[in-house]
A and B are shown apart, each in its own frame.
Chain A
Amino acid sequence: MAPCPPTIGEFSVLPISIPPLPSFPRSAVHYLYARRNAPKIPTANDSRSLFLTNVPVDATEIHFRGLFATLVGVGRFESVTFEEERRESHTDTQPAQAARLLAAHSKKRKREHEEAERAAEEVAARIPSTWTRPLRKSGSTAVVMLADDKSVDQVLKAIAKVHKSKKYPSWGSVDKLGAGKAPPLLGSAWLKTHNRLSYPDRDALQASVDAFSELFAKKEQEAAEMAKRLRNEPDEDGFVTVTRGGRNAPASKNEAEEAKRKMLDREEKKKEELTNFYRFQLREKKKEEQAELLKQFEEDRNRVRAMREKRGKFVPES
């Protein structure tokens, strides 16, 4: 095994030995790079978390629990957040009207228990996942949260020690630690379960869709209420928002688009009536045609010239 530097930049290098498999009977070493977590927008838990990069593609929380248990013992590891999970943006499930209004008037915060309730509803409305275990993108990152600030130091020290002892922790040595059940299998079982999960129970699916529509209806109603409230209420700058539902309801976007199209059609027709009406128009058209012809001829000539540049184009094949 080639010697490996204990650190690269501000990252500590954590080599992990990978046990050989029958299909690839060689032992390999994977390198995990770790440092203290210091995101651009600090959060309360930064001091007790570690930032990892080059996470193995098959990594799960169980893997990391096991890994940290080998490094610093059981009980220090709290949770891990993978890159995709952090990025996962919550899709906007607001009705269009509500979204627009909320963007303009987001000053009113909801009370806390209401928020919790809403979150529960959203979970119920979520579509079940079809994979027992996602794969990470190769080379991606994760943030590991540990029990306390001290654990972070311990982990970094342990990593440094690994380099001296040359005893690399092994990946997937889970059961030895009793850190919970093994991660779901990959391979054929994984694919088969995926197929099974792709066809969920019909009632469960129906329930989830129902939960969603309920939530959606509620939001829609809230939006309508808010619209009503805002109808006559000037904002900070003293403007009154025009909203749907007033006496002269503004047209919906679809209707507006339709109307615009009609108007353009009308104009087009008007224009058409007056083309080729005067002599000068005909004359100008002829001139234009001629100019166009000349231009095309020039273009063609250039194209042929360009082809000749490439050479070989004009030699008959033999």
Chain B
Amino acid sequence: MDSAPAKRRKLAHSEPSSENVLQSATTVGLSKHRIFVLEAEELLEEAAVDYAAAFPGADTLLGEIKTLIEAIEPHEPLPLVEAAHKLEKKHRLKVPFPEPRPPKDCNYKVAFAKPTQFNVVGSYVFKTMVETQKDHAIDMIFVIPAEVLQEKDFLDLRYFYKRAYVLAVVSAALKKKLGADADFSFEYLNGNPLCPILALQPKDKETHQLVDYRIRIIPCSPDAFFPRAKLHLGASLVRRVEEKESGVASKPTPFYNSTLIAEGSFLTYLKIIRQIEKKCAAFKDACVLGRIWLQQRGFSGAVSDGGFGHFEWALLLALLLKGGGDGRGNAVLSTSLKSTQLFKAVVQFLSVTNFAEKPYVLSKSDFEAPPGCGPVIYDADRQLNIVFKMSPWSAALLHQQAKWTRSLLNDGTVDQFSPTFILKTDTPVYSFDLVAKLSHFGSFDHAAEVDSRGKAWQFGSKVYRILKRALQDKELGERARLIHVRTPESPPWQLEEKPKKQKSTDVEIGVLFDPANMARSVDRGPSAGPSTEEKEECEKFRRFWGGKAELRRFEGDTIRETVIWNSTSPFELCEEIMRYILNLHLRIGVLEEDITFNGDELQDLLQLSPADSLVFNTTRKAFADFEKDIRELEDLPLHVRRLAPICPELRHASVKLPTLGPSKSGPRPMETVVSFEASGKWPENLAAIQRTKIAFLLMIGSLLEKAKEGQVKTWVGLEDAKCDTENLAFLDVLYESGASFRLRIHSDLEEILLERQVKDKTQEQHVRTKATTLLAAVRRIHTHLPLHSQTISTFVTRFPALSPTIRLLKQWFNSHKLSTHFPDDFIEIVALNVFLSPYPWDAPSSPNTGFLRALLFLARWDWRTEPLVLDTGGDMPPVDRAAIDTRMEAWRNIDPSMNHTVLFVATSHDATGLAYTSYDGHAKPSKVVATRMTALAKSVSRVVKEEGIALDARRLFVPSLKDYDILLHLNSKVAKSTLKTYPADNSEDVAMDSPERYSRFKNLDERTGKAFLPLAQHPAEAFLDHLSAAYSGALVFFRGTPDDMTVGGIWNPQVQKKKFRINLPTSYKPDAAAAAHDSDDEDEEQGVDVNLNKEGILAEIARIGGDLIEKIDAKGL
């Protein structure tokens, strides 16, 4: 927002402080951005660590350690193996040599000398720690003096052996002196197996510490000790014995080389960051924000956590600020930016530079990265690849995350803050459409690899390369958007032990689908032509796909290499491909349990299949035919303006697939509404309009039967209306083919008359209230639902995963017996919400993620204060959003206890915020039910977080019946029989069901073969509606679908005991205790207590239900 420049002069002398306020108001721009800045400031304040309180005595301890190390007796060079042996024997510890361990016959010597320099580095000195980080560590480095090292030590891990020895000496000395005050253990620096370090955790003296911190003691090499020129990324510095003998050029060792450089760069980078920190005031805050952002996405400096942590963030930011970043020697970022701006700038940088694919070079240089060295951000001045710990997959993930966050930060209409900093987004089941676990390395031989990052990492890397080629590369049509591999962490170990093996050898793989391509079952490879190039291509293809590749002829006479898959759903396809290709190349997956796939239980639950959308489309087609039939009726007095569907079946959103064939029960017609051209012929009276509609329906019915003789049967049905100014009737049209539709007529005059009544202040209040309810009902059916149906239909085609997500979510509401309280359209909007504002992710590409994220949204939605605003049209102006907020605030002010308005949902076509969540003048759901929904969703999110990828999603659908006070068990046989009714053939319809009239034998029964009547309303639904109406004050009923045979009920706790009066909310019995004092006169004045007559009520329910209820279970009776 470019507002006019501030009139500083004038404002300045009137109110000095307002100038500042105005300035910050104008600089930060749009409202949401402004809020983002303010919230980030709050976050920084909140996250700050109180160092004095959190690290009591840390500084003294550091000093002590320094003196102790300096006091260690230096010794003369000794052969490595001998020295190590001696040390191990004397101090009962194991020297943490990196793998492969030094050969027995190595002839070089190690010595110990006083370290030349000590320094505390990292976030402790910069004060950029946050309270919520995983662990708090103070990093202390000491520089191994140059005289202990030799220049050629960079070869063949020699430096690292010496380093390990020095560390062991220091550890032994420290343990001797401080062993009583602290726990000692070895661990790898950032999970890098080349660099073991000593971790020292002070034992709790003053029992409660704010944070558990530890001190990490890190040996490092003198600055630029090794010739950098020899350590370039393409150099091969670890040679194997065989290679040495055979003289074959060995593979480059980029990770090893970069580690060596990094070993000598601690102090240099410390200096750089110090300089920038002084120059740029907001640097520290930007680092804290970056740290939180990374932490919430599961990134850290450790190799297994992506290798991009707080240090890399700070370094990258510092280098971007320092200058020389753009290749011409200028700074990329200005030091006068604010912390949030710096943060956004780094996110922007990460989202546009795809350094996993193309190396990025900071500062001017003619650096050329050799191929195959992974992600590169090259600091040319210090010749270090600062992201050397990253793997191709973590760089891709970081790139993707940055892209998502950037699009979030560009979307000025949503809450930017919580998805960026608050939400924890590293749970794989939320992020990935398919999560698999490999628990067996198969025939993988890691000795063939020279990388130093450990077996699991190398294995993961291999798997990644294969899967990327199979799923993500252009060659085969980009089925996946992202593939992620997660390798296990390396745990710390005790000084006396050998380095622990990684706890589990499981490698986790996450795949993010491209929904448009993942469902494809035929992959077309290169065309098999005669030229050598084509032949080569084919050869490559065959080599990769093995026996699965075959030649096929396609239209246009092209012959191509092809791979055909058998599965149908995206999930199964992906599973099939992964199993096949991993087995082919790595010999894993031969046994079923080598690879476990998680996430398809959900599909099984509903038997979701890609063919479902065909069924829905057929239904749509039937509707189109119906529309044509109606429009073609010739003798209608008015032209049809619009015929619109309003039921979930016709917008791909019903849990059960619509059935078009013959069925065993009465058909349940799909609801539609019709509106005609404007006409002055409607009578100016509501009751008369309703009768006219009936006449109209009768006419349409007979015309339709005449026009499509023999194919169509129509029934005019009566609504369960309470008064004759509401809609009285509908027309059910049953096609021979099995499709059936229900038609209701819209009259524009009805709406106008009702509107007039609502506005008419001379009318009595009850008339106006009634008119308001009726008007809401009319608008819901004839305006809101058609538009909603259209919206959902549009988005279902745009997002393939939307339809199954909606169906899963509805199933969840069903199984927790909530769906009677939630209109279909509300649930659909909730599902749509995770597609339209998916932050911090992208729109879900599978039902699993869609469903889980929808529940996550429900768990986190604070509906007491926030409206759910969904811009379905894509062009909602900010003014409208503000108006919605204001309206919600106004409602909450009028009705703070939320008796009338509870959930507030607004979309582009409904700004009132209540169309989705109110029904018949009541809030639907009520506050109690909405609270229950939130509680259930919260427990789901908790389970998901706890179980991680081992989650069995079926568990989320198991209702807990113990929460209900009463349970009505319906008799399913009787309930089914209510679905079948026959047209009355004479007036004695009451006796129709008496058994004597019809034979027990089906073939003798005169009704056999007669068509069923359609169902005006599902009988179970009608039954529960009546119960709810009769006991609206006393009981709340819970039930899933109408087929649910168990109905739960909860007593309203507020009506347990009352003073006696006329018109009590429900049935009461006199209190026995009160009876004793009944004769007292005082009592009569106060009124006598009466108690809820629970048995009486349940007996009544039993009588109403009759044969339909099998059993009533009641708690506490």
Q: Which residues of B contact A137 (CB under 8 A)?
A: 1029-1030, 1032
A139 interface neighbour in B296, B418, B756, B1067, Cβ under 8 Å: B1067
In angstroms, Cα B1112 to Cα A139, docked, is 21
Let me know if A8 and B296 touch, CB within 8 A: no
Question: Does B1100 interact with chain A (Cβ within 8 Å)?
Answer: yes
In angstroms, Cα B1064 to Cα A11, docked, is 14
In angstroms, Cα B1066 to Cα A30, docked, is 12
Question: Does B957 interact with chain A (Cβ within 8 Å)?
Answer: no
In angstroms, Cα B732 to Cα A199, docked, is 10
Q: Which residues of A contact B45 (CB under 8 A)?
A: 314
Q: Which residues of B contact A33 (CB under 8 A)?
A: 1060
Let me know if A188 and B684 touch, CB within 8 A: no
Q: Which residues of A contact B1098 (CB under 8 A)?
A: 24, 28
Let me know if A294 and B1075 touch, CB within 8 A: no
Let me know if B990 and A193 touch, CB within 8 A: yes
Question: Does B870 interact with chain A (Cβ within 8 Å)?
Answer: no
* A188 to B: closest C-beta gap in Å: 5
Let me know if B1070 and A26 touch, CB within 8 A: no
* B497 to A: closest C-beta gap in Å: 30
Q: Which residues of A contact B1107 (CB under 8 A)?
A: 187-189
Which of A71-79, A154-162, A300-308 lies at the binding interface? A300-308
Which of B366-374, B552-560, B721-729, B776-784 lies at the binding interface? B721-729
Question: Does B1074 interact with chain A (Cβ within 8 Å)?
Answer: yes
Q: How does the 8 Å CB contact mask read for B1050-1071 relative to A, with 1 for contact and 0 for none?
A: 0000000000101111111110
* A315 to B: closest C-beta gap in Å: 6
Question: Does A259 interact with chain B (Cβ within 8 Å)?
Answer: no
A316 interface neighbour in B3, B424, B721, B752, Cβ under 8 Å: B424
Cβ-closest chain B residue relative to A299: B31
Q: Which residues of A contact B688 (CB under 8 A)?
A: 93, 95, 212-213, 216
Let me know if A132 and B990 touch, CB within 8 A: yes
Let me know if B1016 and A198 touch, CB within 8 A: yes
* B140 to A: closest C-beta gap in Å: 27
Let me know if B1067 and A318 touch, CB within 8 A: no
Q: Which residues of B contact A190 (CB under 8 A)?
A: 1106
Q: How does the 8 Å CB contact mask read for B702-715 relative to A, with 1 for contact and 0 for none?
A: 10000000000001
Let me know if B295 and A95 touch, CB within 8 A: no
In angstroms, Cα B1104 to Cα A235, docked, is 57
Given that A9-B1087, A290-B4, A316-B424 are contacting pairs, would A3 and B718 also be in contact in the complex, using a CB cutoff of 8 Å?
Answer: no
Q: Which residues of B contact A96 (CB under 8 A)?
A: 684-685
* B83 to A: closest C-beta gap in Å: 44
Cβ-closest chain A residue relative to B684: A96
Let me know if A91 and B725 touch, CB within 8 A: yes
Question: Does B1110 interact with chain A (Cβ within 8 Å)?
Answer: yes
Given that A26-B1099, A198-B718 are contacting pairs, would A135 and B1026 also be in contact in the complex, using a CB cutoff of 8 Å?
Answer: yes
Question: Does A186 interact with chain B (Cβ within 8 Å)?
Answer: yes
Cβ-closest chain A residue relative to B29: A293
Question: Does B220 interact with chain A (Cβ within 8 Å)?
Answer: no
In angstroms, Cα B1075 to Cα A23, docked, is 32
In angstroms, Cα B691 to Cα A205, docked, is 10
Given that A95-B683, A188-B977, A314-B39 are contacting pairs, would A31 and B666 also be in contact in the complex, using a CB cutoff of 8 Å?
Answer: no
Q: Which residues of B contact A53 (CB under 8 A)?
A: 1062-1064
Question: Does B517 interact with chain A (Cβ within 8 Å)?
Answer: no
Let me know if B31 and A300 touch, CB within 8 A: yes
Given that A196-B992, A198-B718, A293-B3 are contacting pairs, would A307 and B39 also be in contact in the complex, using a CB cutoff of 8 Å?
Answer: yes
Q: Which residues of B contact A131 (CB under 8 A)?
A: 720
Q: How does the 8 Å CB contact mask read for A69-95 relative to B, with 1 for contact and 0 for none?
A: 000000000000000000000011111
Given that A128-B718, A138-B1033, A193-B990 are contacting pairs, would A289 and B724 also be in contact in the complex, using a CB cutoff of 8 Å?
Answer: no
B1102 interface neighbour in A21, A132, A286, Cβ under 8 Å: A21
Let me know if A286 and B4 touch, CB within 8 A: yes
Cβ-closest chain A residue relative to B39: A304
Cβ-closest chain A residue relative to B680: A254
* B341 to A: closest C-beta gap in Å: 17
* A33 to B: closest C-beta gap in Å: 8
* B228 to A: closest C-beta gap in Å: 39
In angstroms, Cα B45 to Cα A314, docked, is 9
In angstroms, Cα B1020 to Cα A187, docked, is 10
In angstroms, Cα B695 to Cα A125, docked, is 13
Chain B 984-1004 interface residues, beta-carbon cutoff 8 Å to A = 984, 989-990, 992-993
In angstroms, Cα B1019 to Cα A193, docked, is 10
Let me know if B1070 and A197 touch, CB within 8 A: no
Let me know if A31 and B1068 touch, CB within 8 A: yes
In angstroms, Cα B1099 to Cα A18, docked, is 7
Q: Which residues of B contact A195 (CB under 8 A)?
A: 666, 978, 981, 1013, 1015-1017, 1019
Let me know if A316 and B6 touch, CB within 8 A: no
B34 interface neighbour in A18, A198, A297, Cβ under 8 Å: A297
Question: Does B956 interact with chain A (Cβ within 8 Å)?
Answer: no
Q: Which residues of B contact A209 (CB under 8 A)?
A: 691, 694-695, 698
Question: Does B154 interact with chain A (Cβ within 8 Å)?
Answer: no
Q: Which residues of A contact B4 (CB under 8 A)?
A: 286, 289-290
Let me know if B422 and A316 touch, CB within 8 A: yes
Q: Which residues of A contact B723 (CB under 8 A)?
A: 91
* A49 to B: closest C-beta gap in Å: 15
In angstroms, Cα B715 to Cα A200, docked, is 9
Question: Does A97 interact with chain B (Cβ within 8 Å)?
Answer: yes
Q: Which residues of A contact B1064 (CB under 8 A)?
A: 53-54, 139
Question: Does B86 interact with chain A (Cβ within 8 Å)?
Answer: no
Cβ-closest chain B residue relative to A198: B1016
In angstroms, Cα B424 to Cα A318, docked, is 7
Let me know if B717 and A199 touch, CB within 8 A: yes
A138 interface neighbour in B982, B1030, B1095, Cβ under 8 Å: B1030
* B1098 to A: closest C-beta gap in Å: 6
In angstroms, Cα B1096 to Cα A308, docked, is 50
In angstroms, Cα B950 to Cα A156, docked, is 70
Q: Which residues of B contact A185 (CB under 8 A)?
A: 1106
* B883 to A: closest C-beta gap in Å: 14
| Nearest 3 A/B pairs, CB to CB | A187-B1106, A198-B1016, A24-B1102
21 contacts between A and B (CB under 8 A): A11-B1060, A26-B1095, A31-B1069, A31-B1070, A57-B1031, A58-B1104, A92-B685, A95-B685, A131-B720, A138-B1030, A184-B990, A187-B974, A196-B989, A199-B718, A209-B691, A213-B691, A297-B21, A303-B35, A316-B43, A316-B130, A317-B422
